Structure 1
Amino acid sequence: MQNTYWSGRLNERLSQGRLIDVAVCTYRRASLETTLRSLATQILPVGTSLRVIVADNDETPIARALVVSIGAELGIDYRYIHAPQRNISVARNACLDAGDAPLLAFIDDDESAIPHWLAALAARLDETGADAVLGPARALYPPGAPAWASRADLHSTTPPFTETDDIRTGYTCNVLLRRSAFGGRRFDLDLGRSGGEDDVFFAGAVRDGARIAYAPDAIVDDPVPIARLTIGWLCRRSFRNGQTYARTRLAAGGGRPILLVTAAGKAVLCLVAAAITAPSAVRWRRMTVRGMLHLGACATYLGRPDLQLY
């Protein structure tokens, strides 16, 4: 059962023009406070306001007290939802259902947005007429991080452009979308523990005609935990991303044998390149991580189960 709580200024904001819902899915992260504070300091165009929707994916409503406290302190409109099924797709779908603003943004609960983040996304949406706009998630490396980490920058997130500069999928760590273009679409519950639910969500929308644009100035900062500063973690994430990519290719009607041969060939080339570039701490890691992406795709084409990351 989902319990919801509104702040007191909702009706006032709804009557003031353009409203944007900003969704945050959370699970036991103290960094949620930093995220909420960054949303409270957004510099928005005249006539535009935001409302924060927080979906708490914990079994108990642990985040409720923090959301209520921050909402009262900063005077922001919010909606708190307890979505306790321990499945990120459940939380994301709760955010889709919770608001009624024509525009909906997503940001992660360990990120913070620069002051013009939401305005930059909205401006790009208006400029392009796209159905969704992605911004970059800029990795922030902690003191003492290995030198290769910041040089390779394998933790930042940007759109996967095609050779024709199209964007055929997306992510929820930094996005603004038009509800009307995604009405009725939901995040896949089967991917809620493995990851990749956002890739599949946006890839399906693109196949159905949605257009996605990019706003490079709409930056969110994403601190990188020490535990993720290893080649092992990067390879596991890339392998899982490859599985998701393969799922979208199959859904688009790709032939499994041809896709498998292509992915296997790319994996071999990347791993050979990693061996050749071994003297470079950055290059061999980049090629290894890229190779793991293609190996993940091969695993899906062969019918192997998804790697569980969460």
Structure 2
Amino acid sequence: MTATPTRSAPIRSTPVRSVAICVCSYERPASLSRCLASLERLATPALADEAVRIVVVDNSPSRSAAETVAIHAAASRFRVTGVHEPAKGLSRARNAAIAAVRAGGEDAFAFIDDDEVATPGWLAALLATLERTGEPAAVGPVHPIFEERPPEWALRGGFFADVDPDGALHAREGRTNNVIIRRAALDEAGIGFDPVYDELGGEDTALFRALAAKGWRIAVAPDAIVHEWVPARRVALAWLARRWYRTGGLEARTHALPYGSPAGRATALARGLARIGAGGALAAGTALAGGWRDPSRLVHRLFTIARGGGLVASVVGRESREYATPRIEATPTRQEDATG
């Protein structure tokens, strides 16, 4: 994301006087309640409470979030808006949130996931980064909270965190699990979330790559920390492999060459085979060099192989539709209750 910005100066210099915090939710009322509770603890010295609005998009046909939103709205220090988007899909839900922000007229909007909790300084750090850098958007780090003690390889490898390198001024990729965006800048860009990613996931990566082509750079806000709840079922090689396989298909879709075209398929095949070969060779070399003593090193090689597999599979249109049948939240554990 190093292209020369093409945004107008007024957008860059306009102060943010109001903000909407957007949370998209599907059949996870307990997680949503925990997320909303964390927002009540926000410290917002630069904004009065009435300048902050919480927008919850309920993406389930059953309106699973309705009761949670109503209870929270009755006691919240902020204004709370519930939006029902019955057509299931990540892009549809996020576009519904943006539409609500446009209707409300807030200067900026932030996204946080319904399985995350914000630290008290989260929003203030995002806003300060926008003001300091003048960039159209800023992202913060996401650190995991594991439901159960994970194996050492998962902790050592950092596979469940979204964190930019120390000292980075701009993010490698934009992401919607911890981001703030100037509404006027997005309006000017004329780009939204593409519904083609509703079931695939990666709608945020696709959006920010399209915005990068328009000159956007995404600032890093290292102090804008959120924590993501990680269920025990995710802490498994199979889950990681599926996630990384999906990123290969996403890479094929967001490449400069048209997805599914002869040139696009040839490029995806070549890149995928190269990754599989390189990943396999690196895994063998790591094992021979004693990598088995630190399994996280071998798991990193799995990332390269799985992503290559996703690229190769994209050649015949076989993509991982991770969100076609999203998992419905189970009954909260005692530990979940304690964190709420």
Q: Which residue of 2 aligns with 1:207?
A: 213
Q: Distance in 1 between matches of 2:153 and 2:41?
A: 33
| 1:120-139, Cα deviation, whole Å (9 max, x unpaired) | 11111111111111111111
The CA deviation at 1:303 is 4.2
Relative to structure 1, is the Cα distance of residues 145 and 174 closer, same or farther in structure 2, using a 3 angstrom cutoff? same
Preserved contact between residue 134 and residue 159 of structure 1 (Cα < 8 Å):
no
Q: Distance in 1 between matches of 2:165 and 2:58?
A: 29
Q: Distance in 1 between matches of 2:131 and 2:304?
A: 34
SS in structure 1 of the partner of residue 144 of structure 2: strand
The CA deviation at 1:242 is 1.9
Q: How does 1:250-261 map to 2 (within 5 A)?
A: 250=256, 256=264, 257-258=266-267, 260-261=269-270
Preserved contact between residue 83 and residue 91 of structure 1 (Cα < 8 Å):
yes
Q: Distance in 2 between matches of 1:73 and 1:166?
A: 37
Moved more, 107-116 or 61-70: 61-70
The CA deviation at 1:69 is 0.6
SS in structure 2 of the partner of residue 148 of structure 1: helix
Q: Which residue of 2 aligns with 1:306?
A: 319
Q: Distance in 1 between matches of 2:258 and 2:218?
A: 17
Q: Distance in 2 between matches of 1:83 and 1:22?
A: 17
The CA deviation at 1:299 is 2.9
| 1:178-214, Cα deviation, whole Å (9 max, x unpaired) | 1112123221112111111111111111111222111
Structure 1 unaligned runs (5+)?
1-16
Which protein has greater RCO, CA pairs closer than 8 Å, 6+ apart?
2
| 1:254-306, Cα deviation, whole Å (9 max, x unpaired) | 96345542442233112222233341311111111232123323333x24232
Q: Which residue of 1 aligns with 2:228?
A: 222
1:234 aligns with 2:213: no
1:275 partner amino acid:
A
Q: Which residue of 2 aligns with 1:295?
A: 309
Structure 2 unaligned runs (5+)?
1-15, 324-340
1:63 partner amino acid:
A
Q: Which residue of 2 aligns with 1:170?
A: 174
Aligned length: 291
The CA deviation at 1:172 is 0.7
SS in structure 2 of the partner of residue 31 of structure 1: helix
Q: How does 1:1-310 map to 2 (within 5 A)?
A: 18-29=17-28, 30-48=30-48, 49-99=51-101, 100-159=105-164, 167=171, 169-183=173-187, 184-250=190-256, 256=264, 257-258=266-267, 260-278=269-287, 279=292, 280-300=294-314, 302-310=315-323
Preserved contact between residue 207 and residue 252 of structure 1 (Cα < 8 Å):
no
Q: Distance in 2 between matches of 1:208 and 1:125?
A: 18
RMSD: 2.3
The CA deviation at 1:47 is 3.3
Preserved contact between residue 148 and residue 232 of structure 2 (Cα < 8 Å):
no
Preserved contact between residue 160 and residue 168 of structure 1 (Cα < 8 Å):
no
Q: Distance in 1 between matches of 2:278 and 2:165?
A: 20
Preserved contact between residue 169 and residue 206 of structure 1 (Cα < 8 Å):
no
Preserved contact between residue 139 and residue 223 of structure 1 (Cα < 8 Å):
yes
Q: Distance in 1 between matches of 2:74 and 2:132?
A: 35
Preserved contact between residue 169 and residue 220 of structure 2 (Cα < 8 Å):
no
